[in-house]
Amino acid sequence: MTGTPTTRPSFDAVAVGDTVAERSFTLQRLDLVKYAGASGDFNVIHWNERVATSVGLPNVIAHGMLTMATAGRLVTDWAGDPGAVVEYGVRFTNMVPVPDDGTGATVVVSGVVATKDDDARTVRVDLTATCDGSKVLGRAQAVVRLP
């Protein structure tokens, strides 16, 4: 299956190897401020460029959990129901620098159906997330229960 469907995919209609989708998500500095307020994570490396670069970072960086949630949107949109995701995990492998030049940072996320569990009627979707050609999440996997 490709693209974002208008209806939920059914378990019987998907196969191992199917492409779930590929989408690009742009993160702006404003998104970091909003996430900081929602999460309570006001670490200065997420909003102050002077401090971020003084500790060796390339720029202000996106919160890891914001990057994780952004990648997860690919799966929840595809599944048509955020509650269908019964398990989701990632490893953080690289930073997402967010410049203050109006372009922001683009995170490209793609997914593929990696396994199917006939008894549970779930599929495991393996995700790839990159920013500027660098992989930013490793072992990104979501288990989705489909009708």
- Give the lowest-confidence range in 2-11, 40-49, 63-72, 110-119: 2-11
Which band of pLDDT confidence, cut at 50, 70 and 90, is reported for residue 7? confident
Average pLDDT, the chain: 95
87 and 142 Cβ atoms separated by less than 8 Å: yes
Q: C-alpha angle 23/27/32, rounded to 5°? A: 145
- Domains in the chain: boundaries: 11-27+62-145
146 and 14 Cβ atoms separated by less than 8 Å: yes
Q: Which CATH number is associated with domain 11-27+62-145?
A: 3.10.129.10
Which of 20, 23, 21, 8 lies closest to 113 in space, CA to CA? 20
Please tell me whether residue 100 adopts helix, strand or coil conformation: coil
Question: Quick one: average pLDDT of 37-62?
Answer: 97
Which band of pLDDT confidence, cut at 50, 70 and 90, is reported for residue 3? very low
Q: Which residue has the higher pLDDT, 99 or 2?
A: 99
